[in-house]
Amino acid sequence: MNPDKDKEKPENVERDHSLDRMKLKAAADAAKNPVVPEQLTLESSLRFRCYPGIDCFTSCCSDIDILLTPYDVLRMKKRLGISSDEFLERYTHSRIEEKTGWPQLFIKMEEKEGRPCPFVTPEGCTIYTDRPAMCRYYPVGQGIHRRRTEEGVENEEFYMLVKEEHCHGFQEEKEWTIAEWRDDQGAEHYDEMVSPWKDIFIRRLTREEEEDGRKQTVFFLASYNLDQFRRFVF
Ligand code: SF4
Ligand code: SF4
């Protein structure tokens, strides 16, 4: 079914992107290694369908690390009509990413049985049209090859499937290419919006930038708390 099945496996990747590895780790924590060890391209195919009424509906929206990008935060806080401060306080938690030493932001799951996402209801996601990029891509994960060439450093994106037991969307008949899935979910626009920000993370991962505590603080502010960053700048 998959035309790319004999391509290079993810473990051969020279360097990958911490951001994307965190996405995959989040899924891996929820079930035993649900990441299919097969590197996909935009042309690779995927058999999957997700819709209200499927028997596993919203089962993927609990007890999971949803990594947020600055654009996710901007969209979500606007959708909710609240300030960055309030959004960060009510809906997120952060932790330092080991390899980069820089902070990352996640949706704070609710402190009740099953640890549901604060935005999930039996009818689905209450912020669906502004849901984060990671939710858009699911069940597809992203990775990045970073290569040095004569022209400089090149980033090449690749994809992989996250097949969790509770997700029955893989039993459906609908077929897509990864590109069609990405397009259907509006993920390309999200990627474009955070591309320069991702690049900063990659450079940190490859130690192309020196560690600097002040930079770390400003990076967090500029990434996630634009209201406060604006006050800081002006
Ligand atoms: S933001 Fe929406 S789609 Fe993402 S985990 Fe929460 S409820 Fe589910
Ligand atoms: S578990 Fe899979 S099929 Fe079920 S709602 Fe979530 S993404 Fe859709």
Boundaries of every domain in the chain:
10-228
Atom number, ligand 1, closest to the C-alpha of residue 118: 6
pLDDT in tens, 33-89: 899 999 999 999 999 999 999 999 999 999 999 999 999 999 999 999 999 999 999
Nearest listed ligand to the Cα of residue 116? 1
* Rounded distance from Cα 61 to ligand 2 centre (Å): 9
Q: Is 61 in the pocket of ligand 1 (CB under 6 A)?
A: yes
The alpha carbon of 147 and the centre of ligand 2 are apart by a number of angstroms equal to 34
The runs of H, that is alpha helices, within the chain are 18-30, 70-80, 84-91, 133-137, 178-184, 187-205, 213-224, 226-233
**This model's pTM is above 0.85:** no
- In this structure, are residues 150 and 204 in contact, taking their beta carbons and an 8 Å threshold? no
Residues 117-138: pLDDT tens digits? 999 999 999 999 999 999 999 9
Give yes or no for residue 117 CB within 6 A of ligand 1.
Answer: yes
Q: How far is the CA of 30 from the centre of ligand 2 (A)?
A: 14
- Residue located nearest, by CA, to atom 6 of ligand 2: 60
- Residue 210 has a pLDDT of 58
**3-state SS, residue 97:** coil
Candidate from 15-19, 199-203, 218-222 with smallest mean pLDDT: 15-19
**How open is the CA angle 6-11-17, to the nearest 5 degrees?**
115
Q: Whose CA is nearest to atom 4 of ligand 1?
A: 135
Is there an atom of ligand 1 within 6 Å of 125 CB? yes
Look at residue 7 in the predicted model and tell me its pLDDT.
Answer: 38
Q: Which is the closest atom of ligand 1 to the Cα of 120?
A: 7
Q: Tell me if 178 sits within 8 A of 140, measured CB to CB.
A: yes
Residue 159 CA to ligand 2 centre (angstroms): 18
Measured in Å, residue 60 CA sits from the centre of ligand 1 at 8
